[in-house]
Amino acid sequence: METMLFILSAFSLILTGLFGVLTRKNLVKILLSLNILETGINLLVVSLGYFKGGKAPILTNSVSAAQGINFVDPLPQALVLTSIVIGLSTTALALTLILKHFRSHQAVEFVKLEVNE
Amino acid sequence: MEAAIIVLGLIMLAGAISVLFQKSLKNAIITFGIVSLISALMFTLMKAYDVAITEASIGALLTIALFFWALKRLEEDGYNEKK
Amino acid sequence: MKRNEPLINLFGLILIILLAVLVYLALTDSGQGLTMLSADLEQRVSYSYLLKNVTAAGQTENQHGQAEVILGREDYENGAVNIVTAIVTDYRMLDTFGEILVLFAASAGVGLLMVERKRGKAKEASEIVKTAVPIIILFTLITGFYIISHGHLTPGGGFPGGAVIASAFILQFLAFQKSSRNKVFKILESLAGIGLLAMGLIGLYLEGSLFANFLPNGSLGATISAAGIMIIYALIGIKVAAELSSISADFIGE
């Protein structure tokens, strides 16, 4: 049930971000929507490893397979850890591109290219 | 636990929607910071403490700072929000 | 442009609802509800990460033939208590190395494409800020080094610690408006990258696989243990801190 709620909130964020990417015109708003989408996907991937009653994947006592191992799945967490840092660097690159676009077109929206005849 | 997840999820959803429909870009960026911090809280509820500490320091702090610096540069170049 | 906005919003909403229905149908495809949730941990690959017995050489069993991990012993595949750290820096280090390369490419791209400022310098910071910032920077740096050096024991490690150290440098830029140290960051970044690659190649030479753990593990759970993981996380921390600082310096400076 808890995993279900986590997945639902992650999906609501993903769909909101996708809606923003599809409908907004301001490039900064589109980038913010992409960041919301990314947050939602991170939440989704981590929530796939969660189950009720699991402990954090840090060994504080000795564990053995005979007594059963009761940890949350650590692999999605490790993947999301790197994905957050990549998200920051790509956001920085996209912001630089937006600044460049504003210098040349004087607009933060997509503009129609006009060909001189 | 379940009530906490529902409340936090609803706040996140409301914040995400208000990011999209806000007129002012500055308010939108701040609201995105709130969404990011609440997602860090969700990560701690999922027992993903490594991810939570990373999200709180990178996703909620440095991303917002980058957006604000970029907005400042846009305004120096003549970008006006009112238009 | 303005008059089309409600129409576009409606169209987007319809698309999103369609997508939500499709995802729901895909998740409940097998007729047993959400099957993704019912996977057992013992059937996942993380089970051997948790027991530290991925390779045949790393098998450690008790007298009944069941795998177990005991704090204080030394003969495991790596000495990290925090399993996420073990995955990031040892089992899936190649992924992390690729991520570091992406970070490098993005930082180089920001440095290359950044437009220069039109107006002059910003206003100078006040006296209070200039007095307080060195003290705050000291504590921020201590926190960052703590997070990095305890990455194998507690949550944290190279990525958040590097970000905390980068935030100390950002404070310094904002208070004193000196962002001309960019060359130092580039050199540190390159040295850390070369160090990471060297760790990988030494592992390949000594153990036969890229980024293999070749340094002694120490006793599992001790403060100074897992030498290889500590070195790799320190290098990652330096690289992340240098890259994030140089990206921020590009954004703040002229």
* CB A36, CB B19: distance < 8 Å: yes
More confident residue, B24 or C77: B24
Q: Distances in Å between the alpha carbon of B24 and those of A94, B11, B61, B81?
A: 20, 20, 20, 7
- The contacts of residue C83 (CB under 8 Å, 6+ apart) are A57, A58, A59, A71, A74, C46, C49, C50
- Residue B76, chain A, CB below 8 Å: the answer is no
- pLDDT for the residue C121: 61
Residues of B in contact with A2 (CB under 8 A): 1-2, 5
pLDDT at residue B30 in the model: 93
Between residues 142 and 181 of chain C, which touch chain A (CB distance below 8 Å)? 154-155, 157, 159
* C-beta separation of A95 from A31 below 8 A: yes
CA distance C111 to chain A (A): 9
Q: Are B54 and A84 in contact (CB under 8 A)?
A: yes
Total residues found in chain A within this entry: 117
Work out the number of other CB atoms within 10 angstroms of the CB of residue B40.
19
Residue C125, H or E segment? none
Taking residues C27-49, report their average pLDDT.
72
C99-136 burial code (b ≥16 CB/10 A, e <16): bbeebbebbebbeeebeeeeeeeeeeeeeeeeeebeee
Q: What is the CA radius of gyration of chain B?
A: 15
Contact yes or no for B43 and A46 at CB 8 A: yes
Choose among C130, C158, C124, C155: nearest CA to C144: C158
pTM of this structure: 0.90
CB under 8 Å to A57, separation ≥6 — which residues? A71, A72, A73, A74, A77, B47, C50, C82, C83, C84
pLDDT tens string B17-69 = 999 988 889 999 999 999 999 999 999 998 889 999 999 998 888 999 999 99
Is A6 within 8 Å of chain B by CB? Answer: yes
Which has the closest alpha carbon to C219: C75, C23, C31, C35? C75
Determine the pLDDT at residue B7.
92
- Write the pLDDT tens digit of every residue in C47-68: 888 888 777 666 666 666 677 7
Q: Is the pLDDT of residue A14 over 60?
A: yes
Tokens found for residue A10? 């992650």
Tell me what pLDDT residue B35 has: 92
Burial tier of A64 (Cβ tally within 10 Å: 0-12, 13-18, 19+): middle
Residue B39's pLDDT is what? Answer: 92
Higher-confidence residue of A1 and C152: namely C152
Per-residue confidence (pLDDT) for residue C155, from 0 to 100? 87
Per-residue model confidence (pLDDT) at position C29: 74
Query: Which 8-state DSSP code applies to residue C126?
Result: P
pLDDT at A35: 93
| Model pLDDT, residue C31 | 65
pLDDT of residue C123: 73
How does strand A63-64 pair with strand C68-69?
Answer: antiparallel
- Are the C-beta atoms of A7 and A50 separated by less than 8 Å? no
Do residues C16 and A37 lie in contact, with contact meaning Cβ atoms separated by under 8 Å? Answer: no
Terminal Cα distance for chain C, rounded: 35
C89, two tokens: 């820096």
Q: What is the pLDDT of residues C145-199, one digit of tens each?
A: 999 998 888 888 888 999 999 999 888 888 887 655 678 888 888 899 899 999 8
User: Could you tell me what percent of chain A has a pLDDT over 90?
Assistant: 36
| pLDDT confidence bin for C38, thresholds 50/70/90 | low
Distance in angstroms (rounded) separating the CA atoms of residues A57 and C41:
12
Enumerate residues 21 to 80 of chain A having a beta carbon within 8 A of any beta carbon in chain C.
22-23, 25, 48-49, 51, 56-66, 69, 71, 73-75, 77-79
User: What number of other Cβ atoms are within 10 A of residue C88's Cβ?
Assistant: 30
